[in-house]
Copies of this chain bind each other. A is one copy, B any other.
Amino acid sequence: MLSVLLALLAGQVTPPAKPTPPDVPAAADWRTIPDDELLVMTLAGNRRVVIRLARRLAPEHVANVRALALAHWWDGTSVYRVQDNWVTQWGDQTERKPLPAGVTARPAAEFDLATAFAVGQRTDADAYARMTGITADGWPIAAADGASAWPVHCYATVGVARDASPDTGTGAELFVPIGGSARRLDRNYTIVGRVIDGMPYLSGLPRSDAPMGMYPTAAERLPIVSVRLESDMPAAMRPQYQYRAIDTAGYAALIERKRHPDPPTIGLGGIDVCDAPLPVRAVPRG
């Protein structure tokens, strides 16, 4: 041992290689997202935003979103609301555009999951829930007890805007949190997905001083050129995405390192459900 140390000091031996960092997933940990669960929104200026739909969390609202995309309903609508430290919102700013056939006008709210949800990775209790975690397929959820759970609003979560009554959101008007906390929307608004690519095109927009951050003039609104399900796009134009599975030893090690990072960084001993990384990558089609 001493001879190794002395050799090291003399620069004669290279130190042992660091173990593979836990944030490098194994090839088998990447899972393909089905084309009909990927929504591609193209904004003016060829800015592309990709949303992964949360079909298991909100089946009826996601069915509406898919019907709206298949009808090309969002084409020609706009991003019309950007409120600082809160949300960016898009859809039909007049809220009067007729909905296409196949869209349920008043779906029941889907912000409480009736049953317990399998968690692939536990995160820590917070001010809003005794239990939190990430499902094996990458959705942040919380629970009050073992019998029920609900999806949580993190940065980049896509939620369903609505009027005061919980069943007034169809999925035509959508929003995404762009600020510090949107957890008070939990159990009050339905979540239909998460922005997995192009988030800066929604978060980096000028904030509006008007009430609720609505853009008061047409010139301020950002036109939506098109919104498509990938399954409705020509094959050559379809980006393919994969998410990292959460129920793996490597991911657990990554979370543990975030709880207790290497010095000199001081760890705080826990990790917030919205602070757990949710890796996604774009890959060439095989």
Residues of A at the B interface (CB closer than 8 Å) are: 82, 84-85, 123-129, 132, 154-156, 164-166, 177, 179-181, 183-184, 186-188, 199-200, 203-207, 209, 258, 261, 264-266, 268-275
Contacts and interface: CB of A to CB of B under 8 A. Distances in A.
A177 B264 CA distance: 21
Contacts of A187: 266, 268
Nearest to A165: B264
A125 B125 contact: yes
A254 B23 CA distance: 42
Contacts of A183: 268, 272, 275
A275 B124 contact: no
A225 B52 CA distance: 42
A85 B270 CA distance: 20
B266 A199 contact: no
Contacts of A188: 265-266
B127 A184 contact: no
Contacts of A84: 199-200, 203-204
A190 to B, nearest CB: 13
Contacts of A155: 85, 179-181
Contact of A207 (B125, B204, B271): B204
A272 B127 contact: yes
A206 B207 contact: no
Given A85-B203, A200-B207, A206-B204, A181 B127 contact: no
Contacts of A203: 84-85, 179, 207
Contacts of A128: 268-270, 272
A187 B264 CA distance: 11
